[in-house]
Amino acid sequence: MPRVLLLFARTSYRAEAFLVAARRLGVDVTVGSNHRQVLADLAPGSTLTVGVSDVERSTATIVRFASDYPLAAIVAAEDDFTPLAAAASEALGLRHHPSDAVRCARNKALMRSRLSAAGFSSPWFHVASLHDDPVRVASRTGFPCVLKPLSLSASRGVIRADAPEEFVRAWHRIRGILEASDVVERSGSLAAEILIEAYLPGREVAVEGIVVGGELLTLALMDKPDSMEGPFFEETILLTPSRFPDKVQDDIVSVVRRCAAHLGLDDGPIHAELRVDADQVSLLEIAPRSIGGRCSAILRFDPDATLEELIVRHALGMPLQGFKREPRASGVMMLPIPMAGILREVAGVDAALQVAAIEGLELTIPLGQTVVPLPEGNRYLGFLFARADSPDQVETALRLAHARLDVKVEPPG
Ligand SMILES: Nc1ncnc2c1ncn2[C@@H]1O[C@H](COP(=O)(O)OP(=O)(O)O)[C@@H](O)[C@H]1O
Ligand SMILES: [Mg+2]
């Protein structure tokens, strides 16, 4: 049986979904992770310890492992592991986005320069180092703008500023986040870099796809119906199918297809985020991986497959033609974190689950643990899922169910 190496962190939201996918496809699995694993199933070759910071060394570990347990595919379940998956796939001649494309897509500044140099429409942008003087950087910046640390993701540390004073405040806040996190260890010099770019107004949309030998297979367009105007950009609702007019949807897909091709993302999953203002479509980012958190649970494909199955199938070279997102509408709400403190109780769960169209609620931070809102926070509180005939019904159900939840957080101290 072919063997797949699945790479994920101990704290992964996606581990289970990928393991189920591999099991359903009947392949052997090796779980590669950055901590020693204790799994119930300890068949030989079922685990491998690999770190994400030293890609060269971990690639050598994987190549050595593959001489005993030949690998047919390597799949990174999340962002941190994509450089390693790319490098090890290259070393073993396996299907994956090339390392250079992964590096480019993961570095928002490099992505912006490659795309704007090629004539793609792009917001103005420049990069500063946290060691610079923020007052001086602010004086050569246009407003409104968005500050983004290059080393973080999931909207962490992404802050809008409309004036120089706000810029300087945002800067210090980002410095605090970087100093308090382990990001320096994980991303080295990138840790101190901040991308500053024009604020793009408009509605946001995400595109999920798999590039198969250079051809983009679009799996879903997901609208983000909440207006996200900052200063922080908490993700809340995602709805599919998109409610944008067909013509705009075509433009969205066309931008993603051309940007992916230009960056060289040619074999693997992509998750793109864009803003649409009137009919101007602008790319925010395009990541060499699938959607994060537990959001992929809203995507189901006929005949009977999950997103993770399609990704593993692609990595194994199995055909994807014929798979299509189910006809029903679905959506997820990433539960907002009301304030920082200790999570004491989430009341109203039964009432929320009784709302028609609601299919489930998953809390991903245990009671008694600390919750931190954006821009500092780095964990999702939970996910509320809905499915109905139309995206409007899904949206209404998510908002109604959320209103029935009472998230009780005890302030620190
Ligand atoms: N230039 C921009 N204009 C408007 N909003 C932005 C801009 N850049 C980022 N955002 C907002 O911040 C969110 C996070 O930024 P993004 O570039 O996707 O980084 P990441 O998701 O890795 O944190 C986006 O989804 C968007 O809502
Ligand atoms: Mg993003």
Domain ranges of the chain: 3-103, 124-198, 328-413
pLDDT at site 62:
98
Instruction: Look at residues 64, 87, 68, 70 and name the one whose alpha carbon lies nearest to residue 7.
Output: 87
Contacts of residue 304, defined as CB under 8 A and 6 or more positions apart, other chains included, come to none
pLDDT at site 192:
87
Can you identify the CATH homologous superfamily of domain 124-198?
A: ATP-grasp fold, A domain (3.30.1490.20)
Give residue 158 CA to ligand 1 midpoint distance, Å: 7
Helix axes 108-117, 99-106, angle to 10 degrees: 100
Q: Is the CB of 263 under 6 A from ligand 1?
A: no
Q: Write the pLDDT tens digit of every residue in 176-220.
A: 999 887 665 555 566 789 999 999 999 999 999 999 999 999 999
Instruction: Look at residues 58, 55, 92, 56 and name the one whose alpha carbon lies nearest to residue 73.
Output: 92
pLDDT at site 183:
67
CA triple 268-269-272, angle to 5 deg: 135
Q: Could you give the CA distance from residue 115 to residue 101 in angstroms, rounded to a whole number?
A: 12
Mean pLDDT of all residues in 4-14: 92
For residue 152, the ligand closest to its alpha carbon is: 1
Q: Is the CB of 393 under 6 A from ligand 1?
A: no
Separation in Å, CA 2 to CA 28, 76, 306, 317: 6, 17, 20, 11
Q: Is the CB of 203 under 6 A from ligand 1?
A: no
Mean pLDDT score of the chain: 95
Q: Write the pLDDT tens digit of every residue in 357-412.
A: 999 999 999 999 999 999 999 899 999 999 999 999 999 999 999 999 999 999 98
Choose one of 82, 127, 145, 155 to mutate for the ligand 1 pocket test, by most ligand atoms within 8 angstroms of C-beta: 155
For residue 238, the ligand closest to its alpha carbon is: 1
For residue 284, the ligand closest to its alpha carbon is: 1
Give residue 370 CA to ligand 2 midpoint distance, Å: 24
pLDDT at site 41:
59
CA 380 to chain centre: 12
Q: Write the pLDDT tens digit of every residue in 241-281.
A: 999 999 999 999 999 999 999 999 999 999 999 999 998 99
pLDDT of 72 over the 60 cut = yes
**Residue 302 pLDDT level (bands cut at 50, 70, 90):** very high
**Residue 59 pLDDT level (bands cut at 50, 70, 90):** very high
CB 385 within 8 A of CB 359: yes
SS3 284: strand
What are 74's two structure tokens?
């390597």
Query: Ligand 1: which residue has its CA nearest to atom 26?
Result: 233
Q: Count of CB atoms within 10 A of residue 336's CB? A: 14
Can you identify the CATH homologous superfamily of domain 328-413?
A: ATP-grasp fold, B domain (3.30.470.20)
CB 72 within 8 A of CB 100: no
What is the atom index within ligand 1 of the atom nearest the CA of 108? 17
CATH top-level class for 3-103? alpha beta
What percentage of the chain has pLDDT greater than the value 70? Answer: 96
Give residue 299 CA to ligand 2 midpoint distance, Å: 18
Within 56-166, strands assigned E span: 73-76, 125-129, 145-149, 159-161
Residues 266-281 as b/e (b if ≥16 CB within 10 A, e otherwise) read: bbbbbbbbbbbeeeeb
**Residue 34 pLDDT level (bands cut at 50, 70, 90):** confident
pLDDT at site 58:
97
Q: Is the CB of 273 under 6 A from ligand 1?
A: yes
Q: Write the pLDDT tens digit of every residue in 125-165.
A: 999 999 999 999 999 999 999 999 998 988 999 999 999 99
pLDDT of 97 over the 70 cut = yes
Strand 28-33 and strand 280-287: pairing? unpaired
At 238, the amino acid letter reads: L
Q: Write the pLDDT tens digit of every residue in 101-120.
A: 999 999 999 999 999 999 99
Give residue 333 CA to ligand 2 midpoint distance, Å: 16
pLDDT of 340 over the 60 cut = yes
Q: Count of CB atoms within 10 A of residue 28's CB? A: 17
Q: Could you give the CA distance from residue 139 to residue 275 in angstroms, rounded to a whole number?
A: 27
Give residue 155 CA to ligand 1 midpoint distance, Å: 6
pLDDT of 324 over the 90 cut = yes
